[in-house]
Structure 1
Amino acid sequence: MNLNIVNTPFLLLDEARMQRNIDRLDVHVKRLGVSLRPHVKTAKSVAVAERLFNGSKGPITVSTLLEAEYFADHGYTDMIYAIGISPDKLERVVALRKRGVDIAVLLDSQEQAEALATAGRDHGVTIAALIEIDCDGERAGLTPQDAEIVTIASYLHQHAELRGVLLHAGGSYACETDAEKAAAAEHERASAVLAAEAIRAAGVPCPVVSVGSTPTAHYARDLTGVTEVRAGVYVFFDLVMAGINVCTLDDIALSVVTTVIGHRNDQGWIMTDAGWMAMSRDRGTAGQAVDQGYGVVADSNGRVIPDLIMIRTSQEHGVLALREGSNASLPDLPVGTKLRILPNHACATAAQHSSFYVLDPHGRAGDISAVWPRINGW
């Protein structure tokens, strides 16, 4: 199969680039002496996970219980469900625990801890939890100095199982310079260690100190006191990561293949069959130094076409045009031409698709070696 004969739009995965990205972070984290717990929320695919662990069933992070159940069905038994737990989801957590899956949940309140302990007692299982710590005001969690951390930790130690603390430095996505990203990584580490030490000082074990975001994972220089790093989008990368120099355009392993379906010469537009249903509405680069619209345009071989971006979308239409201020000439792309669009946010774009079409790393240009299913839903 060749990408030129597959009906568009579809999600294309460059396996060689993906493997290079996987190896890069794996080497870096090992050098720092901690383990890596990849986040599979972008991939949502067993085939991708197999590449993360060289075919074994390593520890993973999930963002939905459907992911947890899907990966459990394929033999993965060591998971963190890294979204704050709600009581209505505890029955599914219990079911996974009874299947032999060591799934730990995330919480940041006494209310959640009590619901967890009650569910465990009612069903005759022990449910492990990590306390979420907020290091930069970007999302949920308790600040590292909050006295409630010790209160919750003590309660979990007595009535359930305290697994440890977990942080995600979401603010690192706004760090442009290498120094800023390194500082964010160190702040994430220090915040995690501070919370863990407070718990231990109260006589409660805190075995896991889990940190991670793709920027901080790559720019951490010292992980003393940390036991594991989590990251997800690094497997594929995207324009947001390229915009803060965590990767280059040549590292982006995902693209959406689209077909030219028309032209609006009066507007300087090239029309394609990939709209927001294929790309998502994510405009993650809009606040960066370079706004990439809805995606950067490359030819069918993956070569970026200078200054051509997807400037607009409707449900099933994408509009390509030269970026504002460009001195380039609009390329001649006849109807039927196949193009690749590099996405702003790999997670959001992948979520629009049910499978990856995988480029053959050993074949001719554009050859597809496999179609890897992926899941969506909660």
Structure 2
Amino acid sequence: MTLDQIQTPAALIDLTRMQRNIARMQSRMDTLGVAFRPHVKTSKCVEVAQAQRDAGARGITVSTLKEAEQFFVAGFSDILYAVGMVASKLPRAMALRRAGCDLKLVVDNLEAALAVAQFGREHGETFEVWIEIDTDGHRSGVQPDEARLIDIGRALHGDDTHHGARLGGVMTHAGSSYDLNTSDALAKLAEQERAGCVHAAERLRDAGLPCDVVSVGSTPTALAAQHLDGVTEVRAGVYVFFDLVMCNVGVCTTGDLALSVLTTVIGHQVDKGWAILDAGWMAMSRDRGTSKQTNDYGYGQPCTLNGAPLDGYVLMGANQEHGILANVDHPDRDIAAHLPVGTRLLILPNHACATGAQFPAYHARSEDGEVAVWDRFYGW
């Protein structure tokens, strides 16, 4: 398949850029001396995860049990399910472990820890569980100095041989890094993330509890960290494609973005300076993550088919199946001549994870122009 044979809208992967992004992150982790466990929720695609593993990644991180099941079938066995566990999901987790999957679970509260241990005891299973640490107040987790950290650890680590759970380590995610945009601020948060998670691990060990794994990571902090003393592994996901939010954060340029949406001009509103595209929010997603950042890209940045941005133009509006492209600073009254009906463009997304989720498959384009179709997972 070639580009002109693809029906639009379509999710397009630039393989040259993707491989460059993978190599950059893996090289960074190798230099820092830590294992790298990519978060595959961004792509939810076996071929992408295989490229990450081929580059040196060890294990994967998932955000749903459906991902864990699908990737296990595809040959990935070292899997961290990095969303807080609840009792209702334990049968699926047990089925994966009994099939041979080295599945790790995450908790951040005593109730969940007790539920995992009890379920394991009742079914003769021992779940490996990591405790989520809150190092930046962004979302979930136990703060490093909270007393309940030790209570959770003890609930997971019993002395009897059939306790049902064992404490494998701690993990954290500095999601607030997405709100930053300077190298100094990112480096400072990366150190805060590292120090907080290491401190939590030390507290558990001082209490006589095991804590082999210290897992940290977000794409910005992974790329900004100056050292990772005490850390055993790093997780990051969106780096594989990057996106416009990451451009605003300052960890990539538009030339690094490996995911775009292929779209076609289907009409115009000449008096308004608009070109109408066949890619609306059902293709781009509703994510407007750049709206609070330095550069607001609307619903995405239009580019030519060779990836060159159309300076001054953005996807300023989106209905379900219609996108509105315009030059927001200088209305283009000749837009029908500049971008006639039938013109094909690429739209760079605000949030690669959200845009990828709109499509059942990717069209992966190699440097020689050949296009392969790669399936993408759905569901929970």
Say if 2:326 is the partner of 1:321.
yes
Q: Deviations over 1:291-329 (max 9, x none)?
A: 000000001221111111100000000000012368998
Q: Call closer, same or farther: CA 1:92–1:57 in 2, change over 3 Å.
A: farther
- Structure 1 residues 43-58: aligned runs within 5 Å: 43-54=43-54, 58=58
Show the counterpart of 2:296.
291
Please give the alpha-carbon distance, in whole angstroms, between the structure 2 residues aligned to 1:240 and 1:271.
24
Q: Call closer, same or farther: CA 1:170–1:56 in 2, change over 3 Å.
A: closer
Task: Measure how far apart 1:59 and its partner are.
Answer: 0.2
Partner SS, residue 265 of structure 2: strand
Please give the alpha-carbon distance, in whole angstroms, between the structure 2 residues aligned to 1:368 and 1:349.
22
> Structure 1: which amino acid aligns with 2:42?
T
Say if 2:172 is the partner of 1:176.
no
Please give the alpha-carbon distance, in whole angstroms, between the structure 2 residues aligned to 1:347 and 1:238.
9
Task: Measure how far apart 1:56 and its partner are.
Answer: 8.2
Q: Deviations over 1:107-130 (max 9, x none)?
A: 111100111012111221101111
Please give the alpha-carbon distance, in whole angstroms, between the structure 1 residues aligned to 2:343 and 2:109.
54
Show the counterpart of 1:200.
205
Show the counterpart of 2:249.
244
Which of 347, 353, 356 is residue 347 of structure 1 equivalent to? Answer: 353
Show the counterpart of 1:70.
70
- Structure 1 residues 85-96: aligned runs within 5 Å: 85-96=85-96
- Structure 1 residues 59-138: aligned runs within 5 Å: 59-138=59-138
The answer as to whether partners of 1:307 and 1:326 remain within 8 angstroms in 2 is: no
The answer as to whether partners of 1:57 and 1:75 remain within 8 angstroms in 2 is: no
Which of 364, 368, 371 is residue 369 of structure 1 equivalent to? Answer: 371
Show the counterpart of 1:358.
364
Partner SS, residue 216 of structure 1: helix
Q: Percent identity?
A: 52
- Structure 1 residues 160-239: aligned runs within 5 Å: 160-239=165-244
Partner SS, residue 113 of structure 1: helix
The answer as to whether partners of 2:272 and 2:331 remain within 8 angstroms in 1 is: no
Q: Call closer, same or farther: CA 1:329–1:148 in 2, change over 3 Å.
A: farther
Partner SS, residue 29 of structure 2: helix
Partner SS, residue 197 of structure 1: helix
Q: Call closer, same or farther: CA 1:140–1:251 in 2, change over 3 Å.
A: same
The answer as to whether partners of 1:292 and 1:309 remain within 8 angstroms in 2 is: yes
The answer as to whether partners of 1:172 and 1:184 remain within 8 angstroms in 2 is: yes
Q: Call closer, same or farther: CA 1:153–1:267 in 2, change over 3 Å.
A: same
Say if 2:154 is the partner of 1:154.
yes
Please give the alpha-carbon distance, in whole angstroms, between the structure 1 residues aligned to 2:168 and 2:122.
20
Give the TM-score of the pair, scaled to structure 2. 0.96
> Structure 1: which amino acid aligns with 2:110?
Q
Q: Call closer, same or farther: CA 1:309–1:261 in 2, change over 3 Å.
A: same
Q: Call closer, same or farther: CA 1:96–1:286 in 2, change over 3 Å.
A: same
The answer as to whether partners of 1:57 and 1:76 remain within 8 angstroms in 2 is: no
Please give the alpha-carbon distance, in whole angstroms, between the structure 1 residues aligned to 2:194 and 2:14.
33
Say if 2:10 is the partner of 1:4.
no
Q: Call closer, same or farther: CA 1:198–1:326 in 2, change over 3 Å.
A: farther
Q: Which runs of 4+ in 1 moved over 3 A?
A: 55-58, 324-331
Please give the alpha-carbon distance, in whole angstroms, between the structure 2 residues aligned to 1:376 and 1:226.
32
Partner SS, residue 305 of structure 1: coil
Task: Measure how far apart 1:5 and its partner are.
Answer: 2.2
Q: Deviations over 1:339-359 (max 9, x none)?
A: 000000000000000111011
Q: Call closer, same or farther: CA 1:341–1:55 in 2, change over 3 Å.
A: same
> Structure 2: which amino acid aligns with 1:285?
T
The answer as to whether partners of 1:357 and 1:368 remain within 8 angstroms in 2 is: no
